[in-house]
Every structure is written in C-alpha cells, then in structure tokens.
Amino acid sequence: MEYVWIDNIIDGLIDIYGTNNIYDLYDYLDISIKKLPMSNVLLHGNEAFYNRNFFDTEVVFIRENLTVEYEQFILAHELGHAILHTNMITSAFNINLLNLDKMERQANYFALKLVNLNIDEIIFEGFTIEQIAKSFNLPVKCLKLLLG
Ligand SMILES: [Zn+2]
C-alpha cells in the first residue's frame, strides 16, 4: 500500500522544517502535547485524544508513561489526522479499538513514514512478532498494525 500524496506531504514537511522529529514538528505547527494519567477523563480510556480546537488550542492529550517509541508513533499518527484530515475535529487513539477505515490507514501510513521505522526482514528473520515488537519498544498490536 502506498500513498504518493502522503509521501509528498511528508517530504514537504521535512523540507520546510528541516526535521522529522515529532516534538519539533508539534512545536513548529503549534500543536500542544499534554500528558495525562490514564484515568483522566479527557482521555476517555484511550491512549490519546486529538482535538483541533480545544478552547482555541490544537492539542493532543496522551497517556503518560508510554514508551518513547510508542508515544512518538501515536503523536505521528495524530499529526497525520491534523494535516491530512482537516475536516476531522477530534480523533481518539485506542489500539484495542482502532478501526481500519481509510483515514486510520492513512494516519498509520503517515506515522510509519514519518518515524521512519525500518523493519529489516533479513535482520529479523526467524524472530517472532513479539520479539520484534520488544526490540522496537512497541506494543505487539501496534507492530502488527504497522506491518499491515
Ligand atoms: Zn487515528
């Protein structure tokens, strides 16, 4: 699966801002990141919640204590919605409930390209998906999603 238009948007972003660092991109694009305890009502039990206009602020609420790699993946996924799906006002990220509709697939594609996760099939030959997930510090479900 390939979305050339998304590749072009990512190339453009990196060109304009000179980085693919997700935290720098959030800064440049003026999107706030607010880490919250899992129990916080704003998360509604999700891992993250994006709101394009939360009291005039564009913000991603995200659970604290995720691995850095998983946090970056989720932030990149939500940035995908922010940039690709401008009609989307809010979006929740919940790995257990993630539907695979077109927009979710596009956001995952965007995230995968942006974080540039390179799962080398030769290096990981003979590894189980659990072992590969562990080596990337990602939940197994997330890796399965990324591998399609
Ligand atoms: Zn999403």
Give the pLDDT confidence of 4-52 residue by residue, as tens digits. 999 999 999 999 999 999 999 999 999 999 999 999 999 989 999 999 9
Which residues have a beta carbon within 5 Å of ligand 1, which is an ion? 91, 104, 107
Residue 51: its pLDDT value, please? 97
Query: What is the pLDDT at residue 96?
Result: 82
Distance 122 CA to ligand 1 centre (A): 30
Confidence (pLDDT) at 7: 95
Q: Which residue, chain included where needed, has tokens 């999107």?
A: 31
pLDDT in tens, 104-138: 989 988 998 898 777 777 888 899 989 999 988 88
pLDDT tens sequence across 63-80: 999 999 999 999 999 999
Task: Let me know: does 22 contact 79? Beta carbons within 8 Å.
Answer: yes
What residues are annotated to the active site?
78
Give tens-digit pLDDT for 76-105.
Answer: 999 999 999 999 999 999 988 877 789 998
Give the distance (Å) from ligand 1 centre to CA of residue 49. 9
Number of domains within the chain: 1
Is 23 in contact with 115 (CB distance < 8 Å)? no
> Could you give phi then psi for residue 52, rounded to 5 degrees?
-70, -25
Structural domain that includes position 133: 4-147
